[in-house]
């Protein structure tokens, strides 16, 4: 749990961590080397983009260029070179986050719109 | 902790994916009709070509209708990539056989979405999709009527000319 109570951790892996910020209705993605804050639609687009990268093709492509994937982080106005391993970890982080969001939503619906604390 | 997903959209992800797939299918249907109309036009069937060009416009409108619904509900509509359509027909009749096949496939897809809506209690989308259910009933009837006319009118000599004109009347019949 994050120090500030309006931020709830959603998902964490070896490489990064994500939070939901109830103050701004955004998702914070902390993934070295970037930290970005996204609205849900932007998060969805970003996740779709990352999921859309053909990792198999990267694996079987022997050229040097295929060892890295250049990824533009939305709203960060910069691009990052991610290794295959980083890409897989980022994908895991985003999909895990999505799962946590869905689980939270499901709990809200099942339990009614009562305040869910940690 | 807020229900962040629900704040942005009432669409469940699987419904959003299914709707986006339907956006693409309708766009593809539009392309198919355009290819059919083109064949008819090139072979002198001017009236029925016009009829199918109108169908192409209609399918494009269907695609857009779903596209805008997704955004309206807070989802993210995806502009579909539609590939090249190469259709080569052997006869006038085969054009309308392909049209019926295409409409049947669309009906199945629409029904599957309605089924999904019921599974996840999304009655808003179900109600929205009912318009398409009715539309498909009409589309299938029109496609069958075209084939029926092919059976009634012989595709030889002046029959071709009559057939072309009669089929163009189908869409007028529905009003
Ligand atoms: Fe349609």
- Which chain A residue is nearest to residue B6, measuring alpha carbons? A105
Following DSSP, what letter does each residue of B153-167 receive, concatenated? S-SSTTHHHHHHHHH
Domain count, chain A: 1
CB contact under 8 A, A118 and B1: yes
CA distance A39 to chain B (A): 9
Predicted TM-score (pTM) of this structure? 0.81
CB contact under 8 A, B5 and A109: no
pLDDT at B23: 98
**Which residues fall inside 5 Å of ion ligand 1, going by CB?**
B 26, 59, 62
> How far is the centre of ligand 1, averaged over its atoms, from the C-alpha of B108 (Å)?
12
Is residue A118 one of the residues assigned to a domain? no
Q: Whole domain around residue A56: which residue ranges?
A: 3-110
Look up the CATH number of the domain holding residue A16: 2.30.31
Following DSSP, what letter does each residue of B71-121 receive, concatenated? HHTT----PPP--------SSHHHHHHHHHHHHHHHHHHHHHHHHHHHHTT
**Closest by CA position to A50, among listed A21, A75, A70, A76:** A70
ipTM over 0.85: no
Is residue A65 one of the residues assigned to a domain? yes
Is residue A52 one of the residues assigned to a domain? yes
Percent of chain B with pLDDT over 90: 65
Chains A, B: CB pairs < 8 Å: 42
CA distance A97 to chain B (A): 12
pLDDT at B165: 83
Is residue A117 one of the residues assigned to a domain? no
Q: What is the pLDDT of residues B10-33, one digit of tens each?
A: 899 899 999 999 999 999 999 999
> How far is the centre of ligand 1, averaged over its atoms, from the C-alpha of B62 (Å)?
5
Which regions in chain A score pLDDT beneath 70?
A: 1-4, 76, 113-118
Is residue A40 one of the residues assigned to a domain? yes
Answer yes or no: is pLDDT of B87 > 80: no
Give residue for tokens 């799962």.
Answer: A99
CA distance B58 to chain A (A): 29
CA distance B28 to chain A (A): 22
Query: Mean pLDDT over residues B69-83, rounded?
Result: 92
pLDDT at A118: 52
Q: Which of B2, B13, B76 sits opposite A41 (nearest CB)?
A: B76
Q: Which long-range contacts (CB under 8 A, 24 or more apart) does A52-55 make?
A: A53/A87, A53/A91, A55/A84, A55/A87, A55/A88
Query: Mean pLDDT over residues B78-98, rounded?
Result: 88
Write down all domains in chain B, each with its CATH number in brackets. Answer: 2-170 (1.20.1260.10)
Q: Tell me which residues of chain A have a C-beta less than 8 Å from any C-beta of chain B.
A: 8, 20, 22, 25, 27, 39-41, 44-45, 98, 101-102, 104-105, 108-109, 113, 116-118
Is residue A85 one of the residues assigned to a domain? yes
CB contact under 8 A, B8 and A40: yes
């Amino acid at each position: 749990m994050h120090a500030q109570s309006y931020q709830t951790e959603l998902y964490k892996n070896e490489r990064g961590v994500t939070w939901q910020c109830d103050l701004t209705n955004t998702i914070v993605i902390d993934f070295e080397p970037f930290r970005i804050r996204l609205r849900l639609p932007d998060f969805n687009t970003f996740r779709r983009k990352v999921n859309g990268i053909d990792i198999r093709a990267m694996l079987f492509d022997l050229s040097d260029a295929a060892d890295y994937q250049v990824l533009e982080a939305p709203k960060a106005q910069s691009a990052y070179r991610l290794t295959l391993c980083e890409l897989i970890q980022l994908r895991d982080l985003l999909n895990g986050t999505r799962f946590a969001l869905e689980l939270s939503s499901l709990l809200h619906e099942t339990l009614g719109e009562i305040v869910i604390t940690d | 902790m807020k229900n962040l997903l629900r704040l942005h959209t009432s669409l469940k992800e699987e419904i959003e994916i299914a709707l986006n797939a339907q956006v693409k299918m309708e766009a593809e249907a539009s392309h198919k009709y355009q290819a059919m109309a083109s064949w008819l036009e090139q072979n002198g069937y001017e009236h029925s070509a016009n009829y199918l060009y109108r169908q192409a416009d209609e399918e494009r409108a269907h695609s857009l209708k779903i596209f805008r619904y997704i955004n309206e509900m807070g989802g993210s509509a995806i502009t579909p990539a539609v590939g090249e359509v190469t259709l080569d027909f052997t006869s006038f009749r085969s054009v309308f056989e392909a049209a019926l096949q295409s409409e049947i496939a669309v009906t199945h897809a629409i029904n599957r979405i309605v089924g999904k809506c019921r599974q996840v209690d999304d009655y808003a989308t179900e109600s929205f999709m009912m318009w398409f259910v009715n539309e498909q009933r009409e589309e299938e009837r029109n496609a069958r009527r075209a084939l029926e006319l092919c059976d009634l009118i012989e595709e030889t000599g002046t029959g071709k000319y009559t057939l072309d004109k009669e089929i163009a009347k189908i869409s007028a019949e529905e009003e």
